[in-house]
Amino acid sequence: MDTIRWGVIGTGRIAHTVAKDFREVAGAELAAVASRTKARADEFAAAHGLSRAYGSYRELLDDDGIDVVYVATPHPQHRDVALAAIERGKAVLVEKAFTATYEGAEQVVDAARDKGVFVMEAMWTRFQPAVQAAKEVVAWGRIGDVVGVQGDLIAHREFDPTDRLFAPELGGGALLDLGVYPVSLAQHFLGEIKEVQCQARLYPNGVDAGQSIMMRHTGDALSSLTCAFDGHGPGRFIIAGTKGWIEIEPRFHHPTRITINRTGALPRVIETKVIGRGYAHELAEVTRLVAAGAVESPTMPLTDTLEVMRVLSDCADQSGLVLREATVDLG
């Protein structure tokens, strides 16, 4: 397989973490970085041994030596960067949440389909071996018919209205940053979402501190999900069936094992091996699929991303949360 050459846009926290996992991925090279500031790009390139550092996003997008663009900006900046990459025929891996709004997601998906280029949401949890093991155990019927899931992602962060986690103009709030994980996983296990009901707690600046989300899926399975920044929680995710239940552990969004609890049997634990910091799995999938000329991932298809974004937008509307896409200056 020819080497697939990647470029990262944005030099923040997740870009640094994911960059380290490229060394675990056969056939992939992280070759370039782009920042709004040349000095930050230089620093990033030096830290990760990259050959090219650009002081504008446009320069990386125009680099013919880049096959895949990894978009690691705040959520409202995903849409414009992804659209610019698609226009240039480059494959794109877009950080979660895919966009700030459902309409923004539709624009990106429509553009990708029109142009016939690969686009995937970086929902790394779906690629974790423990989650894939849980999917197999469900498919084998070990816990009977699945009737619902319960999940929480309550991860305490000190409120700082200047941080993208809390800044309204940067898509701040628990819903897009944390809620996307249990909603996406519930959809992965239970399928199409028919109804959504949501309750939220807001900070004084109008972004959400936490949300409780109830969903009804096709076939009447039910999801009960919570996310929050202003508390602490175990990060549990349980798949409940008519003959038992599975827990994805220890924190479901980057798990290492599952426990299968079947009525009348001792619990069975399946341990799994996570590669790198856990991002190598999604990077390997994108690298393999782009090399093969695919335009979507069967594990994280664009229809699922759109459905998750529809739920998140619905929750935002129900809770009075105002989410907007940003206009990005590509430099």
Ligand X SMILES: NC(=O)c1ccc[n+]([C@@H]2O[C@H](COP(=O)([O-])OP(=O)(O)OC[C@H]3O[C@@H](n4cnc5c(N)ncnc54)[C@H](OP(=O)(O)O)[C@@H]3O)[C@@H](O)[C@H]2O)c1
Contact footprint for ligand X (CB under 6 A) = 10-15, 35-37, 40, 72-75, 77, 95-96, 122, 124, 164, 170, 177
**Residue 72 vs 175, nearer CB to ligand X:** 72
Nearest-approach distance from CB 292 to ligand X, in angstroms = 24
Smallest gap from residue 139 Cβ to ligand X (A): 26
Closer residue to ligand X, CB minimum distance, 37 or 199? 37
Residue with the closest Cβ to ligand X?
A: 12
Instruction: Specify the residue, 95 or 307, whose C-beta has the smaller distance to ligand X.
Output: 95
CB of 263 to ligand X, least distance (A): 35
Burial class of residue 316 (count of CB atoms within 10 Å of its CB; 0-12, 13-18, 19+)? buried
Give the nearer residue to ligand X in terms of CB position, either 72 or 143: 72
Minimum CB separation of residue 8 from ligand X in Å reads 9
Closer CB to ligand X, 177 or 304, in the complex: 177
Q: Least separation, in Å, of the C-beta of 112 and ligand X?
A: 18
Nearer to ligand X, 222 or 330 (CB): 330
CB of 46 to ligand X, least distance (A): 14
